[in-house]
């Protein structure tokens, strides 16, 4: 049973990022990749991965004596759910408020505004196609 995608903790996201980047990963793979960052014991990482599986984010198969985990959700699905949660909770669902806040909260790099305009333009084209159907 999948929990709400936006409820993943930072540690759970770090584990998922590692599995996503590899496609599949063992507890050993994830532990070694995150050891310097987290300092967690291998058993703790294994417990976290088992919990992610129980929550519906990972699935596993056996390869000899090791479990190999694979994601059951995509980065996109989780990112979209997290963004929707931020939009709803912090900005009352207002996309313009979120964009305004983002522009004010971070130094805007050269070309960023043009890229955002291009994304909006592309979205408008797709939206118009949906309306015609």
CB environment 92-120: b (16+ within 10 A), e (fewer): eeeeeebeeeeeeeeeeeeeeeeeeeeee
CATH code, 5-71: 1.10.10.10
pLDDT (0 to 100) of residue 133: 61
Residues 42-79 have pLDDT tens digits of 999 999 999 999 999 999 999 999 999 999 999 999 99
Task: Examine the pLDDT at 130 and tell me if it is beyond 80.
Answer: no
Give the pLDDT confidence of 1-40 residue by residue, as tens digits.
Answer: 456 767 889 999 999 999 999 999 999 999 999 999 999 9
Cβ neighbour number for residue 35 with a 10 Å cutoff:
13
Sheet holding 66-71, edge to edge: 25-26, 66-71, 58-63
The pTM score is 0.79
Q: What integer is the mean pLDDT of 101-128?
A: 85
């Amino acid at each position: 049973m999948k929990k709400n995608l936006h409820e993943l903790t930072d540690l759970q996201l770090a584990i998922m990022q590692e599995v996503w980047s590899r496609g599949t990963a063992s507890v050993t793979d994830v532990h070694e990749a995150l050891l310097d960052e987290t300092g967690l014991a291998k058993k703790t990482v294994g417990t976290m991965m088992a919990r992610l599986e129980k929550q519906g984010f990972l699935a596993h198969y056996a390869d000899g004596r090791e479990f190999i985990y694979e994601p059951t959700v995509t980065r996109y699905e989780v990112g979209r759910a997290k963004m929707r949660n931020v939009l709803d909770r912090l900005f009352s669902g207002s996309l313009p408020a979120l964009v305004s806040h983002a522009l004010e909260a971070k130094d805007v790099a050269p070309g960023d505004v043009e890229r955002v305009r291009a994304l909006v333009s592309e979205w408008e084209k797709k939206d118009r196609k949906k309306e015609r159907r």
